Amino acid sequence: MQKKNDNVIENSKKKEKKNKDKKVSVFKKFFENLKEDYPIFILSIVSFLVISIITFFSVTKNVTIAAFSLNEYEIGQIADRNIVADRTIPANSKYPIAIHDGEKIIRKGFPITEEGYRKLEKMANEKEYIDYRAYANSVLYLLLLMILWTLLYSDVLLGRKLAFKELLLQIIFFTILYSCTLFAPKYPFFAQSPFHLCIAIPTAFVIFLITLLYGEKSALFYSIVLSLGILSAADYNIIVFLFTFCSCFSAARIVRKIETRIDMVFASVSIALLNILFLFLEKILFNESFDRFGTLAFAIAVNGFICGILALGFITPLEQILNTASVFRLMDLSDLNNPTMRGLLLTASGTYNHAMMVATLAENACNEIGANALVARVGAYYHDIGKMDQSEYFVENQTGQNKHDDINPSLSVSVIRSHVKKGVEKAHQLHLPQVIIDIIAEHHGNSVIAYFYNEAKKQNPDANEEDFAYNGVPPTTKESAVVMLADTVEAACRTLEKPSVSRLDKFIQSLIASKLEHHQLDNCNLTFSDLTKIRESFVTILAGYYHSRIEYPDQKDPDDPEEKNKTVVVNNSVKIKQKKK
């Protein structure tokens, strides 16, 4: 019995120790992440303070008492709350009544008198009176919104790490639109109705840019954050919120698949027409009058159209400043007549042809798994630009003797893996988008260069595997991982004899399994379902590439010494030469 009790006590102590270790590890991980992402943390705090200050200036000019608008009170209304003056306000020429500190202006359950209403009006319009309760409510709401913002843009939901520049751009846009919504009602035109206020908020402009620069998912999340922020700035008016929310989501969906700049004009027209539709539906939904609907509809449409045109103008400088890959920039980089690709063709034609095939494989695979096919294609075009300087050391460019036969494996490895570093350097010189630079840096990961490692082991059995590995990191995005797999498969399948569909399938499966075994796909969020689709896509493309052809009846082998006839092409005409006996 005593032993059982001792065992129970011992087990409980072990559990307590495990729980403590877990808590320590959680806190340790939190502080490590905080240390790594401290610029984002500081930016978030500063932006929260800035928006809080803007809100404070807005509250000082608002006609509110106890966080409620003066328009919610009227003479004779039964008060639903007590309002007590928090300071003494002397009489003046405009309001010849005094208010004393601690005085009850209105009493809950009693009708509001004319004198009480005048005192409320005096308090609301008094420059020295600040409704701190309304300000506290706004700050608390912004704090909750900031928490939601953080959760939406976490690695789990976003599927990638939020970049500092991306967050900075989002905060700048949020601050601008939040301020527009707060201060636009100070102008009589925008104060006429919530529908007039919507004209002053260029939401489509912001969402167009976020979608083009960072993708649809980021824009959809930002639409939620922005709409909720505008809800607070618009004094919690549901009409403004709904219009903003619908306009934002529509803008993100419209531009997600565009490929050319002229498409932005059509996107501008589309969002203009949709804005009119949203205005019409809200008028019906909230039983609002259709007086001067034409003027409102025209103004709302102009808002949407100008947003699209402005986005088209701002996209080029922003993508250069932020070093992002918009669809327009990627389409420009995919032009094979640009100087870099022409240089690759002339100096390393084998590498050029390899890059074309890798691009085809990667693009089709990304289409199958829902990744960004255009990013993968452009990344594949540029992934081996580091081979341009010493192209003769890479097997696809060799036509005669292999230069590695004359040097030791260690030197060969240093030449081979240097193409990654040189490729990254060239990419920076060309100001390529960061996502393309990452593909160049990650397309070999930290895998071992097996051929030269095995050659080195023949000379020295104690050769260190790490000395024959690439210095990069494994792929961190789906697109980068697909380019890595396409690069490996394209190069390896060239050595496969009689590449039938079944042989290709088994061989590609073994290549992918090898990458998994060596932990090259641990950081890219690819699922086993994705890998299956990628393998099937590779097999389909390569089976078509390595298809067999029937031999022509009169086809002769030009290297056959027994060949009696030779075909000579002279001035585009074919002549047959009889071989001398």
Between 134 and 358, residue with greater pLDDT: 358
**Cα dihedral sign for 399, 403, 404, 405?**
positive
Phi-psi region of 113 (alpha: psi -120 to 50; beta: other; left: phi over 0): beta
- Looking at the chain, the whole-number percentage of residues with pLDDT higher than 90 is 44
Residue 410: the pLDDT is: 81
Query: What confidence category does residue 4 fall into, taking pLDDT thresholds of 50, 70 and 90?
Result: low
Residue 575: the pLDDT is: 42
- Looking at the chain, the whole-number percentage of residues with pLDDT higher than 70 is 82
Query: What confidence category does residue 62 fall into, taking pLDDT thresholds of 50, 70 and 90?
Result: low
Q: Is 180 helix (H, G, I), strand (E, B) or coil?
A: helix
For residue 417, the Cα-to-chain-centroid distance in whole angstroms is: 30
Question: DSSP per residue over 382-425, as a string?
Answer: HTTGGGGTTGGGSGGG-SSS-GGGGS-HHHHHHHHHHHHHHHHH
Q: How far apart are CA 535 and CA 364, in angstroms?
A: 11
Q: How far apart are CA 155 and CA 151, in angstroms?
A: 9
Residue 112: the pLDDT is: 81
In the predicted model, is pLDDT for residue 333 greater than 60?
A: yes
Average pLDDT over residues 529-551: 85
In the predicted model, is pLDDT for residue 509 greater than 80?
A: yes
75 and 112 Cβ atoms separated by less than 8 Å: yes
Phi, psi (rounded to 5 degrees) for 105: -80, -50
Average pLDDT over residues 194-198: 92
Q: To the nearest 10°, report the CA torsion of 32, 33, 36, 41.
A: -130
Average pLDDT, the chain: 83
Query: What confidence category does residue 515 fall into, taking pLDDT thresholds of 50, 70 and 90?
Result: very high
In the predicted model, is pLDDT for residue 562 greater than 60?
A: no
pTM score, whole prediction? 0.76
List, for residues 101-122, the tens digit of each pLDDT value: 777 777 887 888 877 777 777 6
Query: What confidence category does residue 6 fall into, taking pLDDT thresholds of 50, 70 and 90?
Result: low
Between 343 and 575, residue with greater pLDDT: 343
217 and 159 Cβ atoms separated by less than 8 Å: yes
Average pLDDT over residues 295-318: 94
**Cα dihedral sign for 13, 14, 18, 24?**
positive
Residue 576: the pLDDT is: 39
Between 434 and 496, residue with greater pLDDT: 434
128 and 141 Cβ atoms separated by less than 8 Å: no
Residue 176: the pLDDT is: 95
Give the residue carrying structure tokens 């809800």: 231
Query: What confidence category does residue 573 fall into, taking pLDDT thresholds of 50, 70 and 90?
Result: very low
Query: What confidence category does residue 309 fall into, taking pLDDT thresholds of 50, 70 and 90?
Result: very high
For residue 12, the Cα-to-chain-centroid distance in whole angstroms is: 47
Residue 23: the pLDDT is: 47
Between 57 and 281, residue with greater pLDDT: 281
230 and 244 Cβ atoms separated by less than 8 Å: yes
Residue 107: the pLDDT is: 80
Hey, which residues does 104 pair with through a beta bridge? 84
Residue 402: the pLDDT is: 73
Q: How far apart are CA 565 and CA 571, in angstroms?
A: 19
In the predicted model, is pLDDT for residue 568 greater than 50?
A: no
Question: Any alpha helices (H) in 37-86, and if so which ranges?
Answer: 38-61
In the predicted model, is pLDDT for residue 406 greater than 50?
A: yes
List, for residues 256-283, the tens digit of each pLDDT value: 888 888 999 999 999 999 999 999 999 9
